[in-house]
Amino acid sequence: MIQGLFTAMVTPFKGGRVDYDRLSVNVSDQVEAGVDGLVPVGTTGESPTLSHEEHRRVIEQVVKAASEQPRKVPVVAGTGSNSTEEATALTRHAKQVGAVAALMVNPYYNKPTQEGLYRHFMAVADAVDLPIVLYNIPGRTGVTMTPQTVARLAGHPHIVAIKEATGSLDMASEIASLCDIAIVSGDDSLTLPLMSVGAKGVISVLSNLIPRRVKALVDAARSGDGDTARRLHLELFPLFKIMFIETNPIPIKTAMCMCGLDSGELRLPLCEMSDANQAALKRALSQHGVLGRSGVAVS
């Protein structure tokens, strides 16, 4: 179920409020472009600054919009929290509205021990009959789940995959050596390296902007066409990297705004890119054929 290209969707804003109409259009565009699944309200979806009501409604809207498409794709809802009770409630809601799985980030700020991480995820997995994708991103959470803890958790029938965003090929390799949990890349620039050691695909930021090109890379890697996958990886690599020239999702939302795909609005404490970085981003988009002469997305 968790394989191929899943887009870590942005949450569009208009006048400070969630733009649910634009969100539905984004779902339709993504499905039409061929993505294998959608992931709302993760890091890229600015979940920390959504209210609980907005968080739930965004999940509902993405599930509803996806269900109305000619081609059905799964929705994996972000339901992580640093409160086990809250994560359980969000996961239960995601199941009720039709998400096929939950993406659950490591609890942040309170920095649990490995035993605490284990008990946290096990508690949610025991409480809700919904597949769980673990999300290991120490740069955001301040804690790294070890491969040994991942392997312990993989014994639970509801814990089916891990989004690996530690930036370490060794980490993914060790997880794969210890258990058979499905691994998906959480870093666009490491999609091909991680797939070379068994990862099933990527939960991508850049695919918000150019889903067909990211899909081509993932499909080539999945089919064993190493030459094509390597060529596409190297072509897209500068775009992968510039999407993190400032904190995600600032660059991707700015790029989407430049291409007429988003308002570019962010919620504080996130703010607009510096002028210098905006100029660098625009140059990169133009150089790599994303911006046409009219200033709209061409790929």
Candidates 20, 95, 135, 253; catalytic one: 135
In contact, 55 and 91? CB cutoff 8 Å: no
Q: Is 241 a catalytic residue?
A: no
> Strand, coil or helix: what is 204?
strand
Question: How far, in Å, CA of 157 to CA of 270, rounded?
Answer: 37
| 3-state SS, residue 292 | coil
Tokens 């991508």 correspond to: 204
pTM above 0.85, yes or no: yes
Please state whether beta strands 4-8 and 201-204 pair in parallel, antiparallel, or not at all (unpaired).
parallel
Residue 97's CB is within 10 A of a number of other CB atoms, namely 16
User: Could you give the domains of the chain?
Assistant: 4-225 (3.20.20.70)
Type of residue at 172: A
Catalytic residue list contains 109: no
Per-residue model confidence as pLDDT tens digits over 136-175: 999 999 999 999 999 999 999 999 999 999 999 999 999 9
> Across all residues in the chain, what is the average pLDDT?
95
- CA separation for the pair 230, 232 (Å, rounded): 5
How confident is the prediction along the chain (299 residues), in pLDDT tens digits per residue? 789 999 999 999 999 999 999 999 999 999 999 999 999 999 999 999 999 999 999 999 999 999 999 999 999 999 999 999 999 999 999 999 999 999 999 999 999 999 999 999 999 999 999 999 999 999 999 999 999 999 999 999 999 999 999 999 999 999 999 999 999 999 999 999 999 999 999 999 999 999 999 999 999 999 999 999 999 999 999 999 999 999 999 999 999 999 999 999 999 999 999 999 999 999 999 999 998 533 334 34
The predicted structure's pLDDT at residue 293: 38
Complete DSSP assignment for 83-135? SHHHHHHHHHHHHHHT-SEEEEEPP-SS---HHHHHHHHHHHHHH--S-EEEE
Q: How would DSSP label each residue in 7-41?
A: EE----EETTEE-HHHHHHHHHHHHHHT-SEEE-S
Task: Please identify which of the residues 95, 163, 215, 253 carries the catalytic annotation.
Answer: 163
